Structure formats: C-alpha cells, structure tokens
Amino acid sequence: MPEQQPVLIYDRIDGNRRNTFVLLTVFVLLLAGLSILFGLMIGMPYPLAPLVIIPFLIFAVISYYASSNIALGISGAKEVSKEQEPELVRTVENLCIGAGLPMPKVYVIEDGSPNAFATGRDPDHAAVAVTRGLLDKLEKIELEGVIAHELSHIGNYDIRVMTIVVVLVGIAALMADFMLRLTFFGSGRRSSNKGKGGGAAMAIVLLLAIAAAILTPIAAQAIRFAVSRQREYLADASGALLTRSPEGLASALEKIAADPDKLESANKATAHLYINNPLKEHKSFLNNMFTTHPPIEERVRLLRAM
C-alpha cells in the first residue's frame, strides 16, 4: 500500500464542494452550447429552448415532491418508532443532535442484505432507511458511521443536488433527441429557404448538431455519475467528521461490500440512493464511469487516511 498523506477532513469537504460545483458548471455550459446549436438549427438564435424545458420543469417539480415517497414505497420500507427499534432510533437522534439536523423519519427494510439510504428534498422532509441486515450484521460504531453518512446526505442537500442533475440530464437527452429528429426530417425544407452561403453554414451547423446530439447524452450521463460519486465522497467525509471516527464507516463499508446477499427490492431506479450499490454489478472501466458510487476500496482507503 502506498502511504497516503493524511488529509484534514475540513479540506476534503471543501474540495468535494468545489468539485461538485465545477461539474455542475460544465454541465450548464454543455446545455447552453446545445441550446445555441439547437437554435441555430431551426433558424433563430435562442428560440425554442425555453419551450423544451417547460414540460420537463413540470415533471421535475412533481418528482421533486413525490420522489422520497416513491423511493420508500419501492424499497418496501416500513416506518419504525423508538419503542420498536430503540437502538437505531437513538443512534439517529444522537447523530442528528451532533449534526444540528431535525429528526428524520426512520424506516426499516426487512431484508438480510446490509444497506441503507436517505431521501427527502430538505432536512425537514427527510427519511433514513436501513435494512434489517444492516442492524443485525453491524457493530454499534459501524452503524453510527453508516447513519452519519446518510445524515450527511441530508445535511448536504444531496437529494436536491441530484434531482437538479437528473433534470439537467433529462433536458440534454430530450434536446439531443429533438435535434436528431430535425436533422433527418426537417432539414430539407429549412435549408431551401437560405441562400448559398447560408447553405454551407447550415451544413456545418447540422454536422455539429448531429455530433452534439449523439455525444451530449453520453457526456451528460457521465457527468451525472461523476457528481453522484463526488457526493458520496463528501458524505463519507462529513459523516466521519460527525462521528469523529472514520474507522466505523470504513469497516461498515467493508462488511457491506463483502456481504454476499443481494438486496431484493433494489433496482436500477433506486440503486443510486443506497450507501453502496445494492446490485453488485461486476467492475470494468466503463462500469466505473457509469456508476453512481465510487469503488468501496477507494472510499475505505480515503477514510482510513483521514
């Protein structure tokens, strides 16, 4: 193992915030470029882009308010009281006091595979869900680490950030789709309206548009996953700050990764929520670029270096 220089937890959190900001900026620039191309294609500068966005915004607002209920429903989580799960609820209470967060609702998923997720648009409407396997298989200090990680997602407004990112990805995909369709079905009519020079310029715009339409959704997805991975590192770091013990989360992550059980109720739509990918996909370079979570070994290494 190469010697990792110990990094201050505060620095790590700052660095993560910066990275997320840079990625989001790149994303917005990408979308801006795409809409300019789109505008040029249909003959006007900045024309239809707002209209393209409207249905998406409506969809986004609905999913923004409904997403946590949908996620909890799909995963089969049941809300538990302090009497039912005293140790779990007490751990959540304590860490909330430490993080200065209001108490979220606590859910348990009756599944032997150890995993956990947090959801909710802001700290006042948040929920933490853990599986039965997590409660059974983890020591107290490890459970604290996992809960602290989830509470950090809530405190960092990660659900909000990820909702925004998903909407941006959706808009990019939709625009790209429109552009491809326009290229194939609408270009002939339009280019005949222009003079000679206009035709040559239009051809360049069209070529660019096709390239952009193909590449943008891929790039958008890659950025989305990169943002997600950044948020995971950030939640690891702020969670470690909260418990003052990175080791708890590190060994919990190892246990979760080593566990052979697959989480029955998880699917592609909810996988990104969990503390570790519940689908246990195999690894490859492409998978690494298109995964919501950084590799466990890397997260554990960084935690141990704190």
Contact (Cβ atoms closer than 8 angstroms) between residue 25 and residue 223: no
Residue given tokens 């890397």 in the structure block:
298
Helix H segments across 100-195?
132-137, 140-155, 158-181, 187-191
Q: Of 275, 237, 246, 243, which Cα lies nearest the Cα of 75? A: 275
Residue 82 CB, nearest approach to other proteins (Å): 11
Per-residue binding string, other proteins, 44-83, x by CB under 8 A, is ----------------------------------------
> Cα dihedral sign for 287, 73, 110, 107?
positive
Contact (Cβ atoms closer than 8 angstroms) between residue 180 and residue 213: yes
Touching other proteins, residues 98-127 (CB under 8 A):
98-100
Give helix 296-305 / helix 196-243 axis angle, nearest 10°: 50
What residues pair up with 128 in beta bridges, in sequence order?
106, 118
Residue 145 CB, nearest approach to other proteins (Å): 14
Interaction of residue 93 with other proteins, rule CB under 8 A: yes
Give ∠ CA 17-20-26 in degrees, rounded to 5.
Answer: 140
CB atoms within 10 A of CB 4: 11
Of the candidates 90, 181, 194, 262, which one interacts with other proteins according to CB under 8 A?
90
Residue 243 CB, nearest approach to other proteins (Å): 9
Q: Which is nearer to other proteins, 30 or 92 (CB)?
A: 92
Q: Which is nearer to other proteins, 100 or 188 (CB)?
A: 100
Catalytic residue among 87, 150, 232, 298: 150
Whether residue 93 lies in the annotated active site: no
Touching other proteins, residues 237-256 (CB under 8 A):
244
Residue 244 CB, nearest approach to other proteins (Å): 7
Touching other proteins, residues 133-162 (CB under 8 A):
none
Q: Annotated catalytic sites, by residue?
A: 150
Give the residues lining the site for other proteins (CB under 8 A).
Answer: 90, 93-95, 97-100, 244
